[in-house]
Amino acid sequence: MTTSASSHLNKGIKQVYMSLPQGEKVQAMYIWIDGTGEGLRCKTRTLDSEPKCVEELPEWNFDGSSTLQSEGSNSDMYLVPAAMFRDPFRKDPNKLVLCEVFKYNRRPAETNLRHTCKRIMDMVHITVVWEQTEPMAGTSWRPITGPACMLESRLRGLMPRSCLPSGNFKLDLVKESAWEIISGWPVSSCIVCVKTLE
């Protein structure tokens, strides 16, 4: 398994900078899907005060030629904030901002599938939420059950702990050997449920 060079750097040096006071300023990390449809990109904007809702966040732009998203001679792309969460890495009051990407002509980028998803979800908004179950399997691809569930019990605590800081989490106790994601619209406030041992 390969590791990045930054993983070998002294974490104490980073902590010195992360613990510096930031006053009233807030760092908002804008996150979007790039032109591959799989990669995530981000850049951070410093705001004068903490935004209370996503509508208070400004739009931003970037050069789409560096993210495989530009077309023709005009590479201007727009980031439109769609959801905002507490930043569990840089801590409060900093924010993670999930963005939709629009082209220079204000049409959704090809990888802006959230735009299409929202349009469809708005059409069926009175319907019950959907769910997707993800069984946990070992290296033999058999479901993890019985004594092997000790692994799951160790992992089980990580999901809720990692999601709590964002304020976007609900824990539900259900059956063994699976994780479950339950979602409705807005997807930006989806409910995540972890299946645990009965």
Strands (E), the chain: 26-33, 40-47, 60-63, 76-86, 95-103, 130-135, 178-183, 191-193
Which of the four pLDDT bands, split at 50, 70 and 90, describes residue 151?
very low
Ranges of each domain in the chain: 5-119, 130-193
Model confidence over 175-194: pLDDT tens digits?
Answer: 455 555 555 444 433 333 33
What are the phi and psi torsion angles at 29 (to 5°)? -90, 110
Q: Is the pLDDT of residue 74 over 50?
A: yes
Placement of tokens 């990692």 in the chain? 162
Q: Specify the pTM.
A: 0.67
C-alpha 194/C-alpha 136 separation (Å) is 11
163: Cβ contacts below 8 Å, ≥ 6 apart: 169, 192
The predicted model gives 79-85 an average pLDDT of 94
- Whether 82 and 188 have beta carbons less than 8 Å apart is answered as yes
Best mean pLDDT range from 1-10, 83-92, 127-136, 163-172 = 83-92
- Whether 117 and 100 have beta carbons less than 8 Å apart is answered as no
For the domain spanning 5-119, the CATH number is 3.10.20.70
> Over pLDDT 90: what percentage of the chain?
33
Which of the four pLDDT bands, split at 50, 70 and 90, describes residue 169?
low
For position 45, what pLDDT does the model report?
Answer: 96
